[in-house]
Amino acid sequence: MTQPMAARITELTANRVPFVHATVVRAQFPTSARAGDQAIVLADGSVEGFVGGHCAVGSVRTAALGALHDGESVLLRVLPEDGPDYPESPGSRVVVNPCLSGGALEIFLEPTLPSPLLHLIGETPITDALATMAAPLGFAVERAEAGHRPDGAVAVIVATHGGAEAAAIRAALDAGVDFVGLVAGRRRGTAVLDEMDLADDELKRIRTHVGLDIGARTSAEIALSIMAELVQAIRRDGLVAPEIDIAAATAARPARVDEVVDPVCGMTVTPGPDTPHLTIDGQDIWFCGPGCRDQYAGSAVR
């Protein structure tokens, strides 16, 4: 992996941006790509790097976005139409690309999705213990800062032992969080909720006296009980983080367009920011590559 590619992957991971890492593992002549070539495919279909020409990239983009949606790695085989027989590769996904002039590509697509985000409010021994325990369990931890919303968090834990608990709970609910835990005794927890005038559906998302009943006494034990309840909610109850606007989170890139068909070669295309296209009579027409676009443009002029 090149240093710029490694740095980009580190940057995207740190910023919790979902992406697919594409690596050419086999390239059979004639192809412009070589084994070891790499690219990153973002959620809007942007491709950074090189894994082949326009025709190959169209197939990679479509498969990568599918892998990003499913969260599963895939070995993509891009083969030319009416080409020679190629060795079988069990378990791979095969795409016959009519634009390829020959050759074949095998590209491994590995999606990277952000770890579930745990948003902690309060500087207490309990939140310190939660931060320590959460990382080995696969969670990313975010400590609250003034005015910072818990957007995209799978859970918010309020452990301020008083203070602006109601405001913190309100912010979590407004951010769409479905697991809002309040570290408090049952009586104080009930009092906090009573003063908030919450709707029934909002009350169901709040857990006062959060944590499974394991007889916890110390801060570490309380944190353990909270993490156990959170893991149970994810594994058994299907708790997921609220969806966030990926386009807004990644510098307002345009949302991707649904799959369309190249009118020249008939290939299915998933348009991205760099996909060749024409606008004729106010209608966008997408193509697998510049060749099909130029051919269509020439016929339209005639």
For residue 77, which amino acid is it?
Answer: R
Query: Is the domain of 24 the same as that of 40?
Result: yes
Q: CB neighbours of 7 closer than 8 A, spacing ≥ 6?
A: none
In a domain, 37, yes or no: yes
Q: Of 135, 120, 126, 154, whose CA–CA distance to 244 is shortest?
A: 154
Query: Is the domain of 68 the same as that of 41?
Result: yes
Give the domain-ending residue among 112, 132, 150: 112
Query: Is the domain of 135 the same as that of 163?
Result: yes
Alpha-carbon distance 27 to 56, whole Å?
11
In a domain, 86, yes or no: yes
Give the domain-ending residue among 184, 207, 235: 235
Sign of the torsion angle spanned by Cα atoms 133, 136, 138, 142: positive
Quote the pLDDT of residue 261. 82
Quote the pLDDT of residue 248. 39
Query: Is the domain of 127 the same as that of 210?
Result: yes
Query: Is the domain of 201 the same as that of 134?
Result: yes
For residue 122, which amino acid is it?
Answer: G
In a domain, 240, yes or no: no
pLDDT in tens, 189-245: 999 999 998 999 999 999 998 999 999 999 999 999 999 999 999 999 999 887 654
pLDDT in tens, 163-180: 789 999 999 999 999 999
Q: Which domain holds residue 64?
A: 11-112
For residue 114, which amino acid is it?
Answer: P
Query: Is the domain of 107 the same as that of 127?
Result: no
Give the domain-ending residue among 69, 88, 112: 112
pLDDT in tens, 245-276: 443 333 333 344 467 887 887 777 777 777 88
pLDDT surpassing 70 at residue 39: yes
Is the distance from CB of 105 to CB of 63 less than 8 angstroms?
A: no
pTM of this prediction?
0.65
Quote the pLDDT of residue 83. 60
Query: Is the domain of 127 the same as that of 227?
Result: yes
Query: Is the domain of 130 the same as that of 228?
Result: yes
Number of domains into which the chain is organized: 3
Is the distance from CB of 132 to CB of 207 less than 8 angstroms?
A: no
Query: Is the domain of 107 the same as that of 121?
Result: no
Query: Is the domain of 24 the same as that of 128?
Result: no
Quote the pLDDT of residue 265. 76
In a domain, 249, yes or no: no
Query: Is the domain of 122 the same as that of 157?
Result: yes
Q: Of 228, 231, 179, whose CA–CA distance to 205 is shortest?
A: 179
Quote the pLDDT of residue 254. 37
Averaged pLDDT, 88-112: 80
CA distances from 156 to 116, 141, 144, 227 (A): 11, 10, 10, 12
In a domain, 2, yes or no: no
Q: Which residues pair with 5 in a beta bridge?
A: none
Residue 60 belongs to what H/E stretch? helix 54-70
In a domain, 265, yes or no: yes
| Tokens describing residue 209 | 């006296």
In a domain, 5, yes or no: no
Q: Of 27, 53, 50, whose CA–CA distance to 37 is shortest?
A: 50
Query: Is the domain of 73 the same as that of 132?
Result: no
- List the Cα angle 5/11/12 in 5-degree steps: 90
Please give the backbone phi and psi of residue 293, each rounded to the nearest 5 degrees, phi first.
-60, -45
In a domain, 6, yes or no: no
